[in-house]
Amino acid sequence: MMSKIVRTITNILYSSILIFGFYVIMHGHLTPGGGFQGGAVVASGIALVLIAYGYDTIKNWIKKSNLSILESIGAVSFIGVAFLGIGTTFFYNFLANSGSLFGNPTVIGINPGDLNTAGALPLMSWAVGLKVLAGLGSIVLLMAYGIKKGDGE
Amino acid sequence: MIEEIIQIVVLLIIIVTAIMAVSFKDLLAAVISLAATSLLLSLEFYILQAPDVAIAEAGIGAALTTAIFILAIKGTVREEEI
């Protein structure tokens, strides 16, 4: 538990950090960044809340088991999306130009970018982002747990 | 020309903050100097037109390692208080 100044700034900032991280994941196929970078930004938001409020308060909000489930969901859905295109090849982009989810044809030339393109790539960005944010978040959480355990002994 | 001058200035500040991180006796001040080094390094990546690497460096180097170092420092005791 840090001082009141740190906690007030954290209350203002952490939602913006989380939204920016999810923005970087969502726009992974259009702008710089992607699953890994956005997941790292979201995990840094988790680390900020953890440092500001301390492990005893945070363990009721973020459960380690939930983060493990999220990490497994990320890994399984990455391989699952890769296997969905197995009719042609492994990792085949079966959603591109299909007209359904993320299926618009890519615009040629200089343009601001259409979010609803690129087929299976945004789904894979989300899978990698979930895995990275859960993995790095549980690393920081376990670090805080180990420090607290060492204090008591 | 102006880009070279900006790059030289940023690299000089990176070196200064890295030396500060090594030479500080206070651990928290050293960790914050290391975070400043990482942040300026990500600015340098951005100037070199690698925004992808810059976001990764700012997220991992400046935020997460600082958080882990601060958590580790919270597990130590100051030398004066022993």
CA A133 to mean position of chain CA atoms: 4
| Residue B74 neighbours by CB under 8 Å, 6+ apart | A147
- Which residue numbers in chain B have pLDDT < 50? none
Contact A37, B56 (CB under 8 A): yes
Cβ of residue B15 closer than 8 Å to a chain A Cβ = no
Which run of H or of E encompasses A8? helix A4-26
Contact (CB<8Å) B67/A40: no
CA B1 to chain CA mean position, Å: 26
Which residue of B lies nearest to A34 if distances are taken between CA atoms? Answer: B52
Say what the pLDDT of residue A116 is: 81
* Minimal C-alpha gap between A139 and chain B (Å): 9
Residues A50-89: tens digit of each pLDDT = 888 878 888 788 788 888 898 899 999 999 988 887 878 8
- Chain B partners within 8 Å of A27 (Cβ): none
Residue in B closest to A144 by C-alpha = B71
Question: What is the dihedral angle through the alpha carbons of A27, A32, A38, A41, rounded to the nearest 10 degrees?
Answer: -140
The pLDDT assigned to A148 comes to: 66
Q: Tell me the chain B residues in contact with residue A43 when contact means C-beta distances shorter than 8 Å.
A: 59, 64
Test B56 with A43 for CB contact under 8 angstroms: no
What is the sign of the dihedral through the CA atoms of A15, A16, A20 and A26? positive
Q: Domain locations in chain A?
A: 4-152
Asked whether this complex has an ipTM greater than 0.85, the answer is no
Q: For residue A122, give every residue at least 6 positions away whose Cβ sits within 8 Å of its Cβ, in sequence order, or none.
A: A26, A28, A29, A102
CA distance B24 to chain A (A): 22
Answer yes or no: do A51 and B64 touch at CB < 8 A: no
Kindly report the pTM of this predicted structure.
0.82
Shortest distance between the Cα of B46 and any Cα of chain A, in A, equals 11
Question: Residue B82: what pLDDT?
Answer: 64
What is the pLDDT, as a whole number, of residue A153?
Answer: 43
Residue ranges of chain A with pLDDT lower than 50? 152-153
B56 and A36 within 8 Å at the Cβ level: the answer is yes
Q: Coil, strand or helix: which one is A109?
A: coil
**Mutation to test the B interface, candidates A27, A37, A53, A132, most B Cβ within 10 Å:** A37
Q: What is the pLDDT of residue A152?
A: 46
DSSP sequence for chain B? -HHHHHHHHHHHHHHHHHHHHHH-SSHHHHHHHHHHHHHHHHHHHHHTT-HHHHHHIIIIIIIIHHHHHHHHHHTS--GGG-
